[in-house]
Every structure is written in C-alpha cells, then in structure tokens.
C-alpha cells in the first residue's frame, strides 16, 4: 500500500550516512511488512539495501548472513551447501525454515533475514533458524559502535526486541559447530497454508563438538526457547524442559490457542528426538 505520510526515502551508500534515525524514521529492507500496513507515524524511510552488504559469506568457521540477505538467497544456500560442504549436515535447515514463512516467490525474493528478525513476530521463521543454530547478531549503534548478542537474547517478546532507537541489525553469525550437527525440523499450523503455530527444531551436535542435543521452540512461544542436553534426552526430560516455559510465554493469537501449542510442542519434540536418536 502507499505510505502517504512518508516524505522521503533515502538510500545510504556508507555506514556514516545511515544516521540520524529518529522516531519518525524507519529502516527499510525488503519492505514486505512495512508496505503491508498503514504506518501513519513515519515520515522517512532509510533503505539499507543500498549499503552493498554481501548477502552470504561462508568460511570454515561460520556462515555470516547479512541482514539484507533475502529468503530466496537463503533457501538456495541449502542446495549449494549440500554440494560444497558435505561436512555440514545442517544445510537443509535453511530451506526448511524459509518454508515456514508461507509466501509467494515475490515475497521470498524481497523479504530479508534482518527484517524478519527485527519484526520479532513469534512466527519469525528466521528467528527459528538462527536460534536453532546458535546464531549471534551484530547490531550497529548510532554512535558508530557495535554490539553482539545471541538471537535468543535479542527477541524479548511478541514484536519486542532489544533494539534501541537508531540501532541497525547488520548481520547474523552461525558457527560451524552448529552446521556440523544433524538437525530435525517440524512445523505445524492450523491450516495447510497458515502461519506457523509451532516450530520445533532439534540439533544433535557431532561427537567432535561435544555431542549435545539442542531443542529450539519458536512460534509456539512469544520468544525463542532453547534447551540443551548433554545427549539425547529421555521423554521425561523433554516434558520437564517444556514445563519450564512460563504460562504467559505461550503465544495466544488467531493462529492457535496456548493449550494447543503447548501440547503440539511436546508431540513435535518427541518426533524430533526419535529422528535424531
Ligand atoms: C504473504 C506474507 C507472509 C508473511 N509471513 C510471515 C511469517 O510467517 N512470519 C513472519 O515473521 N513474518 C511474515 N511476514 C511478514 C514479513 O514480510 C516478513 O517477516 C519479512 O521477512 C520482513 O522482511 P522485510 O525485509 O520485508 O522487512 P521490512 O518490511 O523492510 O521491515 C520490517 C521491520 O523491520 C525493520 N528492519 C528491517 N531491517 C532492519 C535492520 N537491518 N535493522 C533494524 N531494523 C530493521 C523495519 O524498520 C520494519 O520495522 C509475511 C508477509 C507476507 C506479505
């Protein structure tokens, strides 16, 4: 839709041109959400896609995703890594998590990893991906400094995160130790093409990385919950972990009741456990 209160769209080419960013300004990435709803408080958009960040940088130690990496690019990474990095069995998870955001190819080719994380919706598919893979975020501050934090500390609630006015998400870092793990992915939604109600991802680290079992729960909860076990947990341990999620952290919206999400989380966690045993 037209954002008829917006008077200017600026496209910085260098880091120091991004600011000032005030309360009437918004960072513009793919714009798939910004242009989908009225934004009467906005006067100016600052388009970060002109900064020329490389979308994906693969090294032996990690994958760095720019905030401006699109879902189409990320999905293709699964195929590329399956061929080029046979030592990274987690490769299919990139495409699997993209499919948790059910949208047309036009949205996929525009929507960005950073936009998805910064919206901080419970059904944020990129939050599911990055919390399952020990993702850490780098955020640029308006004073020229940076800070780095786990994605699990970044999202604090439904549509809530730690970003201060003027902060810009720059990148996501996924360590090779998580990429060397086997993963299992489950998603359920009330309708076949519906928004995710529950996303559960299991990760079993390689023996060289300690052999941990990591379980992430997203969409069912207003912020990501990640549980770590020294090895594959028992059914009782899964129940115990699930029961540590506070009552008010279960998502309660049109895409599913908290009771249903709580029950489905355990069911999917059991499936993930069986697949990775
Ligand atoms: C058909 C359809 C289906 C969708 N399904 C889902 C879904 O299942 N789950 C879900 O979570 N969302 C969904 N969305 C919402 C949204 O389109 C996606 O979350 C998308 O990934 C947002 O990315 P974007 O680049 O388009 O963000 P934009 O619309 O450009 O920005 C979104 C918000 O993030 C801020 N922002 C963007 N980049 C940065 C940055 N680098 N630093 C700081 N702030 C930033 C913007 O200021 C804005 O507030 C859907 C949208 C459509 C149209």
Predicted confidence (pLDDT) per residue in 67-89, tens digit: 999 999 999 999 999 999 999 99
Same fold for the pair 56-177 and 180-276: no
CA of 45 to the centre of ligand 1 (A): 14
188 lines ligand 1 (CB under 6 A): no
Tell me the mean pLDDT in the region 227-235: 97
Residue 133 corresponds to which tokens in the numbers above?
Answer: 């893979």
pLDDT in tens, 47-70: 999 999 999 999 999 999 999 999
Write 127-130 long-range contacts (CB < 8 A, 24+): 127/151, 127/155, 127/218, 127/224, 128/97, 128/100, 128/196, 128/199, 128/201, 128/216, 128/218, 128/219, 128/224, 129/93, 129/94, 129/97, 129/201, 130/172, 130/174
Tell me the mean pLDDT in the region 255-264: 96
**Structural fold of domain 56-177:** 3.30.465
Does the structure show a pLDDT above 90 at 220? yes
Task: Give me the sign of the Cα torsion angle 141, 45, 161, 148.
Answer: negative
pLDDT in tens, 164-184: 999 999 999 999 999 999 999
**Structural fold of domain 180-276:** Enolase-like; domain 1 (3.30.390)
31 lines ligand 1 (CB under 6 A): yes
DSSP letter, residue 112 = B
Place of tokens 């998590």: 97
29 CA closest ligand 1 atom index: 30
Pocket test for ligand 1, best of 19, 33, 137, 197 (most atoms within 8 A of CB): 33
CA 256/CA 240 separation, integer angstroms: 22
pLDDT value at residue 8: 97
34 lines ligand 1 (CB under 6 A): yes
Classify strands 146-150 and 225-229 as parallel, antiparallel or unpaired. Answer: unpaired
For residues 221 and 158, the answer to whether their CB atoms sit within 8 Å is no
For residues 178 and 201, the answer to whether their CB atoms sit within 8 Å is no
Does the structure show a pLDDT above 90 at 277? yes
pLDDT value at residue 41: 95
pLDDT value at residue 1: 86
Does the structure show a pLDDT above 90 at 29? yes
CA of 101 to the centre of ligand 1 (A): 11
Q: Where are the domains of the chain?
A: 8-51, 56-177, 180-276
pLDDT value at residue 194: 83
Percent of the chain with pLDDT over 70: 100
pLDDT in tens, 110-166: 999 999 999 999 999 999 999 999 999 999 999 999 999 999 999 999 999 999 999
Does the structure show a pLDDT above 90 at 244? yes
Is the reported ipTM for this assembly greater than 0.95? yes
Within its chain, how far is the Cα of 240 from the centroid? 25
Count the Cβ atoms, other than its own, within 10 Å of residue 46.
20
Count the Cβ atoms, other than its own, within 10 Å of residue 95.
17
Q: Which helix (H) or strand (E) holds 202?
A: strand 198-204
Does the structure show a pLDDT above 90 at 193? no
CA of 32 to the centre of ligand 1 (A): 6
Q: Which helix (H) or strand (E) holds 172?
A: strand 168-175
Strand order in the sheet with 136-140: 56-58, 62-66, 168-175, 136-140, 146-150
For residues 32 and 107, the answer to whether their CB atoms sit within 8 Å is yes
36 lines ligand 1 (CB under 6 A): yes
For residues 10 and 26, the answer to whether their CB atoms sit within 8 Å is no
Does the structure show a pLDDT above 90 at 93? yes
Q: Report the chain's terminal Cα–Cα distance, integer Å.
A: 48
CA 43/CA 3 separation, integer angstroms: 9
Within its chain, how far is the Cα of 175 from the centroid? 15
CA 182/CA 88 separation, integer angstroms: 8
Does the structure show a pLDDT above 90 at 263? yes
pLDDT value at residue 192: 80
CA of 74 to the centre of ligand 1 (A): 15
pLDDT value at residue 191: 86
174 lines ligand 1 (CB under 6 A): no
């Amino acid at each position: 839709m037209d954002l008829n209160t917006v008077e200017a769209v600026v496209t910085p080419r260098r880091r120091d041109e991004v600011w000032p960013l005030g309360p009437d300004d918004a960072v513009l990435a793919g714009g798939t959400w910004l242009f989908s709803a009225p934004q009467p408080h906005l006067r100016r958009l600052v388009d970060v896609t002109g900064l020329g960040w490389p979308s994906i940088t693969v090294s032996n130690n990690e994958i760095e995703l720019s905030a401006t990496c699109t879902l189409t690019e990320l999905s293709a990474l699964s195929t590329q890594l399956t061929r080029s990095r046979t030592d990274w069995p987690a490769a299919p998870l990139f495409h699997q998590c993209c499919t948790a955001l059910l949208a047309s190819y036009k949205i996929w080719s525009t929507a960005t990893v950073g936009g998805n994380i910064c919206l901080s919706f419970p059904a944020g598919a990129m939050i599911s991906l990055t919390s399952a893979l020990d993702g850490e975020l780098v955020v640029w501050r308006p004073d020229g400094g940076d800070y780095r934090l786990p994605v699990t500390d970044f999202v604090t609630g439904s549509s809530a995160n730690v970003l201060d006015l003027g902060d810009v998400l720059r990148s996501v870092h996924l360590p090779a130790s998580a990429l060397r793990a086997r993963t299992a992915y489950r998603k359920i939604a009330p309708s076949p093409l519906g928004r995710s109600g529950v996303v559960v991802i299991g990760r079993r680290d390689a023996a060289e990385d300690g052999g941990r079992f990591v379980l992430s729960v997203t969409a069912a909860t207003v912020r990501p919950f990640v549980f770590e076990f020294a090895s594959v947990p028992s059914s009782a341990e899964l129940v115990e972990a699930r029961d540590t999620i506070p009552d008010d952290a279960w998502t309660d919206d049109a895409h599913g009741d908290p009771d249903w999400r709580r029950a489905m989380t355990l069911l999917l966690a059991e499936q993930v456990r069986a697949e990775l045993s």
